[in-house]
């Protein structure tokens, strides 16, 4: 269906009115990353920045100074000789490598700052010799062999003397006939020139001996001062106030004075933070009320910070580092770092896009605007002036342009329109549920829809797209290869079709069961890459024959849900996922996400487009990204690692052998290139402790306890997203053995052990001797006891019959020995046993024995001869022997004895004999027994002595 010319003119008028109504926006968004308290910056009021020659980034805040180690910010303070707190105003490096820090009322300097391997080793000392005014806008600039610093509205010069000594601050003096302005608001240096701006509106320049040439700027800037100054060349400088800027050319003695756009009163109380900074491409950067803007010599272009419309930060400082990355200091939001500045540019709704969800792109002709399809309409981006103009509303999933420069776009869900950009005529065709428009290499245009694949021939523009009867199934995505063959998806099938009606091949057998194709590219006339829900497949074909099909191995950091693919002029393959961009270039994969500058990791389906200059446009769910320099995008910055500190307890590891300690070994480290700081990982190993390499993303490791000895610590870093590794660094850790494990101690231990062994042997021998003696005593006692038991009666304790007979045997061995023998018998003992029992009888015998024992002596032997009989042997030849025996008998017999059954009177009868010469003992016993018998027969309780017939 074709629109009439009349209707087209009406639409053209409406479109022109829209251009007038909608503002022309010169803007883009800077991709940035913020660093704040989560990265260690406790005070997010950033005032100044400095990158040291060794790579460390220093950041001054309203309450102290920090340095960045690639992982987090570390604070410098009293340990380095700085105040505990204070508002940092400015930082600079002097010609001798010393670091100068300006507070609002004092300055500090530290030597060798550019070569020191860790800023914590810096040692600062205060500068003396001049009274510094409390200055909230103090600035320091390197000049000649020292630095210039503001002191109120005047200047002082601090000269570098030697490698470590800094001279006293001296006031800056001009040559006779010229004066140094005393109301300085801004200054800058260029080569040997010194430029000044003053409160009175003058801009002055001096050289050599400081003879100043001043020009009064034109215009009225009441209540405003030139607070920033940038020098373009020896004769030209640019100044700005809160709302105005001026260009001064002293050679021509001309000045221009203009109003700054996008500025009102935002910086009225923060004008001391204003700056003018040249970019590496020669643009001038400065603040606007709601962000940054740059000046290309003709126009100002706004640079947005992401999501800043909700909270415009005060921007205080700007720093370009060696990799041309911009570091942006803010008040309240911390420090921001641009991501791939000059390589990646972003646009969003705040920059003029109709909607942040970007689906498609096309550029109908060289140097023409880029047409952008979003979720809410179509926009035109003039990339030469970076201006976005809305064109038409409505969700636009796909856009394409043909070989004739016509623009094809959908309108709603049932119409596709061909817009002739030469004469602005439009043709509309009914086409339901369009998914993608695929331009061919000649006059062919392909339309992939839910109803199937349609084809249009631009040689017959009035004939709309027609359905290919062989391809009636829904199709989502496709591509035309160098042979002008359409490769497209139909469900899980991949079909190849050549106009007008030749179906070449179709295949689906090589895919995994759950693979759904969503993107397709033709790398060459034989190689097709297909992306989908679980990765990428590569098909090699020849004509209508499929030669091979293999699944591509993606890096683990890459997403596997492929929604967009692109093959560019460099033979690079781009794949868009929900986790960012994956790029196959030079035989390896790279992965990029928001840390590389993308506005979102969620790439839109079909949202990749190669521009005529080889740059890449990326559509995401949060805006449009332009990779304007893909080669720089891939540029690798070497990973530079450093060891910040290594300590055993509180002792630093510095190559010395450290004393033994049970304290932990702690090692901190970092890296000095910050482009991929979120992706850097460390691998480390302590030889002699770790069996394998360990991995961490932290900037430190801790070994709770290591044994004495020598170890080597190895460290390197790598980026799995870019397949990049650092050089390895290592150092030795040596800990001495404790004194108790030294050779001297071991010799001492040997001596002690030898002494102890000798002592133990001595003690053992002594012990054995003592034990032997004890054993002998025990044996002797036991032998004596056994002998005693063998010789004594168990009941009475007197000598038993055998012992008495042995003694009698010995006594009678001498024929001439003469001794007395007496037998005692208990009278009526049987009656006692019968009446009271044998126990009582035993008691009687024991009591009689106790009485008899009283008379045992060297000459008297007493024993129990049997039953109730007792025997007494006396070796004395005393005439009183018989008398004594008679007394013994009578003493026992006349006493009543106490028993368990009561008191009884017990009497004894006795027989007494004396041995005759050569008489044996048995005969003697017989004689005594006869005497006893006689005593019993004659009435008992008496004694009979045979020798003298004595009876008692």
In the predicted model, is pLDDT for residue 374 greater than 90?
yes
Mean pLDDT along residues 276-283: 90
Angstrom distance (rounded) from CA 823 to CA 946: 12
Give me the residues paired with residue 158 across strands.
147
Place 48 in a pLDDT band, splitting at 50, 70 and 90. very high
Catalytic residue chosen out of the listed positions 386, 868, 869, 927: 868
In the predicted model, is pLDDT for residue 518 greater than 80?
yes
In the predicted model, is pLDDT for residue 9 greater than 50?
no
Place 502 in a pLDDT band, splitting at 50, 70 and 90. low
In the predicted model, is pLDDT for residue 821 greater than 50?
yes
Annotated catalytic residue 858:
no
Place 310 in a pLDDT band, splitting at 50, 70 and 90. very low
pLDDT tens per residue across span 561-613:
999 999 999 999 999 999 999 999 988 899 999 888 899 999 999 999 999 99
Q: For residues 450 and 432, is the Cβ–Cβ distance under 8 A?
A: yes
In this predicted structure, which of 22-36, 357-371, 408-422, 574-588 has the lowest mean pLDDT?
22-36
Give the residue from 550, 476, 547 showing the smallest Cα distance to 510.
Answer: 550
Mean pLDDT along residues 11-25: 41
In the predicted model, is pLDDT for residue 784 greater than 50?
yes
pLDDT at 336: 92
pLDDT at 561: 92
pLDDT tens per residue across span 114-129:
888 889 889 999 887 7
pLDDT tens per residue across span 394-445:
899 899 998 888 899 998 888 999 998 888 888 889 988 899 999 988 888 9
pLDDT tens per residue across span 204-238:
998 877 888 888 886 657 678 899 999 999 999 99
Mean pLDDT along residues 636-645: 86
Residues with Cβ < 8 Å from 751, sequence gap 6 or more? Answer: none
Angstrom distance (rounded) from CA 536 to CA 550: 9
Out of 13-22, 336-345, 466-475, the most confident range is 336-345
| SS (HEC) of 518-541 | EEEEECCCCEEEEEECCEEEEEEE
Beta-strand runs (E) in 543-578: 545-552, 564-567, 573-577
Place 501 in a pLDDT band, splitting at 50, 70 and 90. low
pLDDT at 22: 37
Helix (H, G, I), strand (E, B) or coil at 473: coil
Mean pLDDT along residues 818-827: 89
pLDDT tens per residue across span 152-184:
888 888 887 765 556 667 777 776 767 888 889
In the predicted model, is pLDDT for residue 837 greater than 80?
yes
pLDDT at 603: 95
For the chain, report the end-to-end CA distance as a whole number of angstroms: 177
pLDDT at 4: 33
pLDDT at 19: 40
Residues with Cβ < 8 Å from 569, sequence gap 6 or more? Answer: 610, 614
Maximum Cα interatomic distance, the chain, rounded to a whole number of Å: 190
Q: How far is CA 676 from CA 71, 74, 85, 665, in A?
A: 11, 19, 31, 29
In this predicted structure, which of 474-488, 522-536, 712-726, 934-948 has the lowest mean pLDDT?
934-948
User: Which of 507 and 433 is assigned the larger pLDDT?
Assistant: 433
pLDDT at 949: 42
pLDDT at 6: 37
Helix (H, G, I), strand (E, B) or coil at 607: strand
Q: What is the pTM of this model?
A: 0.74
Secondary structure (DSSP) of 354-412? S-S-EEEEE-SSTTSPEEEEESSEEEEEETTTTEEEEEEES--S--EE-TTS-EEEEET
pLDDT at 218: 66
Mean pLDDT along residues 782-787: 81
Mean pLDDT along residues 127-142: 77
pLDDT at 952: 47
Place 17 in a pLDDT band, splitting at 50, 70 and 90. very low
Place 651 in a pLDDT band, splitting at 50, 70 and 90. very high
pLDDT tens per residue across span 284-304:
999 999 889 999 888 898 888
- Could you give the dihedral angle defined by the CA atoms of residues 922, 927, 930 and 936, in that order, rounded to the nearest 10 degrees? -100
Place 131 in a pLDDT band, splitting at 50, 70 and 90. confident
DSSP H or E segment with residue 8? helix 5-21
Helix (H, G, I), strand (E, B) or coil at 499: coil
pLDDT at 166: 62
Query: What average pLDDT does the structure give for the chain?
Result: 86
């Amino acid at each position: 269906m074709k629109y009439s010319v009349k209707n087209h003119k009406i639409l053209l008028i409406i479109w022109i009115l829209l251009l007038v109504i909608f503002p022309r926006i010169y803007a883009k968004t800077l991709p940035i990353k913020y660093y704040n308290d989560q990265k260690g910056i406790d005070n997010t009021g950033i005032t100044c920045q400095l990158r040291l020659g060794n790579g460390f980034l220093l950041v001054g805040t309203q309450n102290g100074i920090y340095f960045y180690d690639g992982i987090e910010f570390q604070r410098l303070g009293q340990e380095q000789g700085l105040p505990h707190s204070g508002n940092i105003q400015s930082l600079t490096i002097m010609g001798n490598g010393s670091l100068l820090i300006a507070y609002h009322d004092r300055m500090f300097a530290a030597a060798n700052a550019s070569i020191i391997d860790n800023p914590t080793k810096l040692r600062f000392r205060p500068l003396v010799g001049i009274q510094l005014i409390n200055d909230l806008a103090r600035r320091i600039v390197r000049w000649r062999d020292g630095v210039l610093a503001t002191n109120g509205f005047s200047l002082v010069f601090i000269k570098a003397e030697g490698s470590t000594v800094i001279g006293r601050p001296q006031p800056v003096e001009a040559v006779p006939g010229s004066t140094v302005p005393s109301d300085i608001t801004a200054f800058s240096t260029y080569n040997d020139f010194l430029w000044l701006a003053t409160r009175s509106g003058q801009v002055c320049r001096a050289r050599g001996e400081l003879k100043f040439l001043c020009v009064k700027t034109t215009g009225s800037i009441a209540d405003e001062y030139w607070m920033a100054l940038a020098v373009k060349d020896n004769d030209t400088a640019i100044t700005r106030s809160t709302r105005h800027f001026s260009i001064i050319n002293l050679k021509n003695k001309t000045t221009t004075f203009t109003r700054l756009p996008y500025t009102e009163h935002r910086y009225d109380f923060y004008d001391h933070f204003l700056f003018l900074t040249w970019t590496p491409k020669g643009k001038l950067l400065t603040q606007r009320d709601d962000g940054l803007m740059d000046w290309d010599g003709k126009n100002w272009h706004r640079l947005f910070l992401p999501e800043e419309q909700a909270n415009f930060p005060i921007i205080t400082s700007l720093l370009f580092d060696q990799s041309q990355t911009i570091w942006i200091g803010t008040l309240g939001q911390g420090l921001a770092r641009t991501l791939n500045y000059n390589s990646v540019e972003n646009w969003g709704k705040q920059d003029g896009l109709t909607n942040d969800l970007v689906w498609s792109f096309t550029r109908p002709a060289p140097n023409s605007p880029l047409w952008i399809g979003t979720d809410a309409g179509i926009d035109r981006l003039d990339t030469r002036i970076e201006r976005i103009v809305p064109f038409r509303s409505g969700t636009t999933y796909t856009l394409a342009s043909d070989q004739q420069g016509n623009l094809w776009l959908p309108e709603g869900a049932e119409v596709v329109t061909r817009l002739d950009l030469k004469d602005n005529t439009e043709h509309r065709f009914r086409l339901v549920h369009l998914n993608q428009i695929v331009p061919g290499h000649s006059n062919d245009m392909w339309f992939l829809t839910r109803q199937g694949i349609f084809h249009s021939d631009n040689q017959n523009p009035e004939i709309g797209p027609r359905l290919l009867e062989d391809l009636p199934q829904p199709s989502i995505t496709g591509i035309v290869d160098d042979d002008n063959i359409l490769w497209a998806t139909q469900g899980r099938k991949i079909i190849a079709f050549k106009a007008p009606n030749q179906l070449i091949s179709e295949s689906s057998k090589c895919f995994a069961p759950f693979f759904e194709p969503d993107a397709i590219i033709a790398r060459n006339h034989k190689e097709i890459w297909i992306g989908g829900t679980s990765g990428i497949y590569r098909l090699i074909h020849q004509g209508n024959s499929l030669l091979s099909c293999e699944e591509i191995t993606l890096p683990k950091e890459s997403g596997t849900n492929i929604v967009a693919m692109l093959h560019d002029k460099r033979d690079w393959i781009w794949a868009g996922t929900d986790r960012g961009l994956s790029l196959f270039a030079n035989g390896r994969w790279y992965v990029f996400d928001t840390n590389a500058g993308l506005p979102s990791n969620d790439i839109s389906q079909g949202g990749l487009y190669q521009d005529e200059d080889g740059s890449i446009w990326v559509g995401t769910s949060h805006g449009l990204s332009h990779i304007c320099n893909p080669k720089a995008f891939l540029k690798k910055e070497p990973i530079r690692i450093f060891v910040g500190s290594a300590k055993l307890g509180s002792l630093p590891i510095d190559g010395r052998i450290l004393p033994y300690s049970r304290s932990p070994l702690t090692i901190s480290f970092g890296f000095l290139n910050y482009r991929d700081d979120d992706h850097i990982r460390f691998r480390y190993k302590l030889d002699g402790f770790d069996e394998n390499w360990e991995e961490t993303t932290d900037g430190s490791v801790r070994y709770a306890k290591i044994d004495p000895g020598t170890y080597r610590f190895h460290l390197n870093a790598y980026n799995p997203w870019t397949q990049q590794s650092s050089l390895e660094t290592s150092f030795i850790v040596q800990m001495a053995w404790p004194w108790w494990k030294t050779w001297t101690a071991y010799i001492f231990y040997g001596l002690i052990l030898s002494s102890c062994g000798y002592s133990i042997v001595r003690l053992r021998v002594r012990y054995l001797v003592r034990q032997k003696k004890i054993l002998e005593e025990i044996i002797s006692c036991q032998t004596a006891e056994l002998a005693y038991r063998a010789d004594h009666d168990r009941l009475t304790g007197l000598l038993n019959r055998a012992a008495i007979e042995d003694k009698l045997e010995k006594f009678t061995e001498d024929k001439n020995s003469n001794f007395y023998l007496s037998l005692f018998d208990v009278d009526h003992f049987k009656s006692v046993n019968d009446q009271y029992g044998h126990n009582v009888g035993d008691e009687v015998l024991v009591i009689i024995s106790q009485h008899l024992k009283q008379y045992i002596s060297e000459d008297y032997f007493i024993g129990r001869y049997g039953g109730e009989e007792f025997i007494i042997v006396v070796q004395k030849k005393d005439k009183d022997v018989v008398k004594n025996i008679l007394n013994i008998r009578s003493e026992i017999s006349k006493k009543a004895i106490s028993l368990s059954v009561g008191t009884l009177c017990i009497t004894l009868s006795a027989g007494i004999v004396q041995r005759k010469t050569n008489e044996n003992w048995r005969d003697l016993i017989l004689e005594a027994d006869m005497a006893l018998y006689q005593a019993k027969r004659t009435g008992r309780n008496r004694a009979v002595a045979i020798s003298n017939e004595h009876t008692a």
